[in-house]
Amino acid sequence: MSRARLYIDEPLHIGARTEIGADRARYISRVLRLRPDDTLALFNGLGGEYRATILSFSRNSVFVSIDEHVNRDVESGLKIHLLQGISRGDRMDLVMQKATELGIAAITPIITEYSVIKLEKQRAAKRLQHWRGICTSACEQCGRNLPPVVYEPVRLRNWLGENSRTGDERRLILKPGAANSLRSLQGDVESVAVLIGPEGGFSDEEYDLADATHFFPISIGPRVLRTETAAIAIAAGLQVQFGDLATGRNSD
């Protein structure tokens, strides 16, 4: 596998000559310091990756030839949907990055009663674009070719009202002091939605709404974790118990 991996939001085809422009081109030339005839891997989120060879540089572009498609897949068989209460500062950025590295399939930023961050429509659109960029950058680093789906921010009450449980999906909500843990989950788990509160946690009413929509309360230990730490801990725990961290599978 080429060490340099880049996400390209455009169609990729074997034999094509592709122009990479703007920030991507500067990254290739100034950060990676690649030169003509060097190779890199490109992926566009549609599965697998493409081996490419650099042909030439212009002032603002890099021209590459697409040489080969590699059906490479490091996605987890466990489909985790993280419903993450929006937090302040760069905490949400950290969640996006680490959730991607840990193989989470989808992330929905959740606005709760105690959320400190209140996103207006225009600001929410900018944050969504920013978060998606973090996820694609994390994919470049960790080897994933399918970035997680990052949905638009939504109020918890609305999400619970519009999304009923499907198939064999398990639903979990982190609740300090809950009597159950991950070990309480029995049988095979292939799809799970995990609800994590923001810095202020959930209100009693929100816990009741979650309970009414089949969210099972669990605790992940005796210590109180920050919201971003809780997201990383539960993702890792689920992957160890039911996903690919238990096997150490390397599909490269």
Split the chain (252 residues) into runs of 10 and give each run's mean pLDDT: 81 94 89 93 94 93 96 94 93 97 98 83 88 96 96 95 89 95 90 95 96 96 94 97 79 46
Q: Would you state the pLDDT for residue 251?
A: 45
Through-space distance between the first and last CA atoms of the chain, rounded to whole angstroms = 8
How high is the pLDDT of residue 120?
75
Q: What are the structural domains of the chain?
A: 5-70 (2.40.240.20), 79-242 (3.40.1280.10)
Contact residues for 69 (Cβ-Cβ < 8 A; gap 6+): 14, 48, 49, 50, 51
Which pLDDT value is given to residue 252? 47
| pLDDT the model gives residue 167 | 82
pLDDT of residue 1: 43
Widest Cα–Cα separation across the chain = 62
Say what the pTM is. 0.92
Distances in Å between the Cα of 158 and the Cα atoms of 136, 210, 231 are 27, 12, 21
